[in-house]
Structure 1
Amino acid sequence: MRRCAALLLIIGAAGVCAALQIQCYQCEDVRQDECSSPEFIVNCTVNVQDMCQKEVLVLEDGIHYRKSCASSGACLIASSGYQQFCTGKLNSVCISCCNTPLCNGPRHKRRALSCAHTHTHTHLSLLTLIPLLCWR
């Protein structure tokens, strides 16, 4: 029975990971990627906005950025809908979606996996172990 209690505690801790808010950069129509500083960081709505979105527009006066929190469904639909307009040339519009904290900021070297990447796999693996270890 102790094994069951320990597993339930681990699963509870993994569940906390899913309830955390993702943070994203948020700004409207900013040039030169200026909105990747701390004052533009926002907490996204828990269980609604689970992704960060970044729009890059190439206009006559330069590159403009829009960054925000987004729901995965809305972001993925928008990014696929604008894929044909993502040319890098004048009037280009590129929309990208990501699901790790502050991932819509400037590009950095690859980091270790975040909670957002590991939670689903950890949670499902532990759930499949409970019947094997607890109810024998």
Structure 2
Amino acid sequence: MKVVMTFSFLLPHTGNALQIQCYQCEEMKHNDCSTPEYIVNCTVNVQDMCQKEVLVKPDGIHYRKSCASSGACLIASSGYQQFCTGRLNSVCISCCNTPLCNGSKRKRPVPSAAMSNPRTNQPLILFLLALKLLPLT
């Protein structure tokens, strides 16, 4: 009984519908539509991704954001890959599948010097462990 209960969360629940929220706007400049008034609920079990288009026009960078089905978004993004140059008349389409992922990019916090990557010190730790295991003569 315990095993069944432990893994029951892995089974799909027929009563729960999958819905994602995305930002939605047309031809906005300066990424303005990554604010609460542009949040929409996507169509349940149909639009399972957020899409973001970045267009470089003579008057600046424009954004289109919307809900999308995974198939349509992935086809569009791969189809426009050759036009994603960052230069004038460039079009870049990206797809993502977490809530509000088509918003503006958040700046990542810069890691402090005190927080070192454990893998960076891995050779030193292994060397010190090897010295400790060697018999003293």
Correspondence for 1:118: none
Tell me, in whole angstroms, the C-alpha distance in 2 between the residues paired with 1:94 and 1:57: 7
Residues 109, 60 of structure 1: alpha-carbon distance in 2 compared, 3 angstrom cutoff: closer
Tell me, in whole angstroms, the C-alpha distance in 1 between the residues paired with 2:107 and 2:24: 21
Correspondence for 1:76: 74
If each structure's helix is expressed as a fraction of its own residues, which one has the higher value?
1
Tell me, in whole angstroms, the C-alpha distance in 2 between the residues paired with 1:8 and 1:62: 51
Runs ≥4 residues deviating over 4 A: none
Q: Once superposed, what is the RMSD of the aligned Cα atoms? A: 2.1
Shift of 1:77: 0.4
Shift of 1:3: 2.1
Correspondence for 1:3: 2
Structure whose alpha-carbon radius of gyration is higher: 2
Higher relative contact order (CA 8 A, sep 6+): 1
Corresponding residue pairs, total: 107
Letter in 2 for 1:57: L
**What TM-score, normalized to structure 2?**
0.71
Shift of 1:109: 5.5
Shift of 1:20: 3.4
Correspondence for 1:126: none
Q: In structure 2, the residue corresponding to 1:19 is in which secondary structure?
A: coil
**What TM-score, normalized to structure 1?**
0.71
Tell me, in whole angstroms, the C-alpha distance in 2 between the residues paired with 1:38 and 1:84: 32
Tell me, in whole angstroms, the C-alpha distance in 2 between the residues paired with 1:77 and 1:71: 10
Letter in 2 for 1:54: K
The yes-or-no answer on 1:38 pairing with 2:32 is no
Structure 2 unaligned spans of 5+: 109-137
Letter in 2 for 1:6: M
Structure 1 unaligned spans of 5+: 111-136
Residues 109, 32 of structure 1: alpha-carbon distance in 2 compared, 3 angstrom cutoff: closer
Correspondence for 1:29: 27
